[in-house]
Copies of this chain bind each other. A is one copy, B any other.
Amino acid sequence: MSRITIKDIGKLVGVSPSTVSRALHDHPDISAELKLKIQSVATEMNFIPNATAINLRSKKSMIIGLIIPKLSMYFIPSLIEGISNELNKKNYKLMVLSSDESIEKEIQNIKICCDSNVDGILISLTNKTNHLDHFSPAFNHGIPIVLIDKTIHQDQIDEVIIDDFAASKNCAEYLLNKNCKNILGIFGDANMSITIDRLKGFEATLAKDKGIQYKIIFAENSEIASEKSLIELTSNKDLDGIFMMSDEIMVGVNKSLYEFEQKNKSKTAIKKIAISDGQLPQFMTPNISYLHHSGFELGKLAVAVLYDNFSPNTKTTLKRHYLSTALLEF
């Protein structure tokens, strides 16, 4: 089932391969009738130009590598969708690689991207990554890179993020405005840049007000978030506000809140706010207000920044790109 080539078409029409190539590219030198003839034969024979051969010549692959820390159901799908949408507009294809929260796999994935000749790399780091030394293969080959969401702040590579400090500050202020006096903040893995930044924004806001009590806990996943928050709910009767750093944490906390209410046969008046992609909060029981952190939009922005990197001459110098967020109340 070997594929049709321009040589085959040329033989059939009685012209050389180069003429076929030109006709198919609407080259002005070719007569209109010959063009039509060749093009009709090409479509008739289901001719598909061999992308590999074109890539070899042009030294481009039209493939963008996306490396994500893990294929979680939170945030990642909408991020991929945003990226995919934007890439398709310019005929780029998306290669998805998961690091499964392992640095070894992250290193491996960067190598795979280089091996595969990707034209650019979009990457969100694992929760264990704390330097970018392993990016050197990509640097060596001059492959443009954009860091997304889970990044490390530095001055070499573009970052596309939300203003994590401001986001958690907003959330903390929301709770303060609701008159909360005793607040619990639940964060993800303490090594991640987004955790650190969100933690800073949260603490900076609450520490200013001496009348406020607050506590910080960390939870790597929904399960742990559920367990730990239930302990807090049970032991701290004055708790009146909860901040949840992510959807994953929110899902766990939602469960413990329910269990707590069941056990105590009373409805709590605890105010809740989460940073979320926005799919799940409306299905929490009851609904949870959230600061919208759109994976879709972040993905689109990341691709735009990557495109910007393709033309280094006109390239914007700004290295850190912030996506705007909005607080939605329910």
Contacts and interface: CB of A to CB of B under 8 A. Distances in A.
A254 B285 contact: yes
Given A115-B51, A279-B73, A285 B255 contact: yes
B96 A116 contact: no
A142 B1 contact: yes
A230 to B, nearest CB: 13
A170 interface: no
Contacts of A283: 222, 226, 251-252, 254-255
A258 B279 contact: no
Contacts of A98: 80-81, 84
Nearest to A116: B51
A52 B54 CA distance: 9
Residue among A55, A226, A280, A284 with most chain B CB within 10 A: A55
Contacts of A117: 50-52
B46 A115 contact: no
Interface string A37-74: 00000000010111111011001010100000001111
Interface of A: 1-3, 46, 48-53, 55-56, 59, 61, 63, 71-74, 76-78, 80-81, 84, 93-98, 112, 114-117, 137, 140-142, 222-223, 226, 251-252, 254-255, 258-259, 262, 279-280, 282-286
Nearest to A1: B142
Contacts of A137: 46, 48
Contacts of A84: 71, 96-98
A44 to B, nearest CB: 12
Contacts of A142: 1
Residue among A48, A49, A71 with most chain B CB within 10 A: A71
Pairs of residues from A and B, 7 with the lowest C-beta to C-beta distance, nearest first: A1-B142, A258-B285, A71-B81, A73-B73, A52-B55, A52-B56, A251-B283
A259 to B, nearest CB: 8
B93 A94 contact: no
